[in-house]
Structures are given as C-alpha cells and as structure tokens.
Amino acid sequence: MSSMRLHRQHPDQLIVGLVSISDRAATGQYEDQGIPALKDWLDKAVVQPSQYVTRLVADEPQAISNALVELVDEVGCDLVLTTGGTGPARRDVTPEATLAVATKEMPGFGEQMRQISLRFVPTAILSRQVAVIRETDSHAALIINLPGQPKAIAETLEGLKDEAGQSIVPGIFAAVPYCIDLIGGPYIETHEHVVKAFRPKSARRQPTA
Ligand SMILES: Nc1ncnc2c1ncn2[C@@H]1O[C@H](COP(=O)(O)OP(=O)(O)OP(=O)(O)O)[C@@H](O)[C@H]1O
Ligand SMILES: Nc1nc2c(c(=O)[nH]1)N[C@H]1C(S)=C(S)[C@@H](COP(=O)(O)O)O[C@H]1N2
C-alpha cells in the first residue's frame, strides 16, 4: 500500500503520525481511546494546528513496523507517537518493532518517561518504552512510544505539576520541539501553561518586529 505524502499548510506546521497499538481496540472489543487522547493533548499543547494521520494496529511486530515506516517515509511525518504494547506481556512488542525501524536511539526519552510515571504509578518501571529517530535520504522523524493506559499519555507528555500549575517533573514534550529542529523539521511552539518547550538561547527564533 502506498500513502499520499502530506504537505505543510504552513512552514511551522507539524505533521504527526498517531499509532494506537492494541489487540482489543483493533478487533473492536473496545473503542480506541488512545488516538483521541493523543490528539486532544497535542491540540491543547501545540500552538500551530498540526496535521494528523492515524493508524490502529494489533500487537503484531511487522504490522507496527510497517505502520511506522509508512508514516515516516511515505506520509512524511515529523513526529510519530505510539501508545500501547510497551509492557512485559508476551504480545507487548512495540519497543522491538520501533527499534527495528530506527537509525538512532534516543534513550533519554524512555528514562525520563519512567521517572515521570513513577510519580503516578509504581508499575511505571514495567514500561519498556523507547524513542528513536528514523532517517531516510531526504527526511527524518522522531518516534516515541507511550504506555497504553490512555491517562498515561498526558502524564508522560506533560509531566507532573503542583496545584499552582508549576512543573514538578517536566514532561518529555519539553524536549520535542528542539529535537524536531535538530532533525530538520518545522519550528514548533507550545502553550507554556501545558508544557514549556526548552530551546537553547541560540536556537530560539527572534520575535519579528
Ligand atoms: N487503545 C486503547 N483504548 C482504550 N484503552 C486502552 C487502549 N490500550 C490500552 N488500554 C487500556 O490500558 C490497559 C493497558 O494497556 P496494554 O497496552 O497493556 O493493553 P493490553 O492489556 O495488552 O490489551 P490490548 O492490547 O488488547 O489493549 C488495557 O488493559 C486497557 O484497559
Ligand atoms: N504514566 C503512566 N505510565 C505507566 C502507566 C500509567 O498508568 N501511567 N502504567 C504502567 C503499566 S501498569 C504498564 S504494564 C506499563 C506498560 O503499559 P503498556 O503495555 O500499556 O504500554 O506502563 C506503565 N507506565
């Protein structure tokens, strides 16, 4: 199957692939809550409206890898977020399927996500989630695995805040805009009350007069 390449409607627009990996959601035993949760959070956090391409797949390594390759190489996504299949169960194979299409590993994301998640659940260490870069000759994308619990999506992307809304543990999305800059993607900005993106001073865009 060959997919249409998406084109930015604005130079700063992010093209995002959302992949929900769940045997039961893929076979209709329950309604997928992964893709709506990912979309809702990104719409709330990212200033420039993103374009989304979504896929719902069963916990099958080849199907997961194929979806990731299609979204990066054919559709041209800058960022792909997966949800589900990161645990220790026999059919949890998302990290392996992600590593199979990687050109670089980004271990800091997984380390930080498990640190954040430990503030919410003691079973955080059961998630084997990884993040990687996939590079082709003309394009690159960041791929990040999130756990399957729909509530884990906002928890890991946004981090933990106190009652006044001050960050206690920064969410991993704080590092995503600069990572996308470094791999040649669009310049994305976030709403600071949701997640404050960090860029070194030299990488910040100067406000236009
Ligand atoms: N896409 C989804 N939509 C709604 N709830 C989900 C989804 N994926 C996971 N969950 C919930 O989070 C729990 C943990 O997710 P996990 O990825 O380990 O699923 P699972 O138990 O392997 O089953 P399945 O792959 O059939 O979703 C699930 O048992 C389910 O309650
Ligand atoms: N933030 C957050 N991380 C979390 C969880 C959660 O509820 N919130 N659940 C944990 C549990 S119970 C498991 S088994 C692992 C793997 O989940 P997955 O197989 O659904 O990807 O993620 C862990 N990480």
Angle at 182 between CA 177 and CA 184, to 5 degrees: 95
Q: 159-161 and 167-170: which strand pairing?
A: antiparallel
Look at residue 1 in the predicted model and tell me its pLDDT. 56
Look at residue 209 in the predicted model and tell me its pLDDT. 61
d(CA 197, CA 192): 7
3-class DSSP assignment, residue 82: strand
Look at residue 39 in the predicted model and tell me its pLDDT. 98
Q: Which residues contact 16 (CB under 8 A, 6 or more apart)?
A: 42, 50, 51, 52, 53, 77, 78, 79, 80, 81
Write out residues with Cβ below 6 Å of ligand 2. Answer: 84-87, 92, 117, 120-121, 123-124, 126-127, 147-149, 151-152, 155-156
**What is this structure's pTM?**
0.97
Q: CA–CA distance from 1 to each of 59, 69, 140, 182 (Å)?
A: 20, 12, 21, 30
Look at residue 206 in the predicted model and tell me its pLDDT. 82
Token digits of residue 61: 């390594």
| Domain-wise residue ranges, the chain | 15-203
CATH assignment of 15-203, among 3.40.980.10, 3.30.1180.20, 3.40.50.150, 3.40.50.1820: 3.40.980.10
Cβ-contact 15, 53 below 8 angstroms: yes
Q: Which of 24, 29, 32, 145 best tests ligand 1's pocket when mutated (most atoms within 8 Å of CB)?
A: 24
Look at residue 95 in the predicted model and tell me its pLDDT. 98
d(CA 39, CA 16): 9
According to DSSP, the residues that pair with 133 across neighbouring strands are: 104, 142
- ipTM score of complex: 0.95
Look at residue 3 in the predicted model and tell me its pLDDT. 80
Look at residue 128 in the predicted model and tell me its pLDDT. 98
Look at residue 163 in the predicted model and tell me its pLDDT. 93
Residues of the chain short of pLDDT 50, as ranges, are: none
Cβ-contact 62, 21 below 8 angstroms: no
Look at residue 57 in the predicted model and tell me its pLDDT. 98
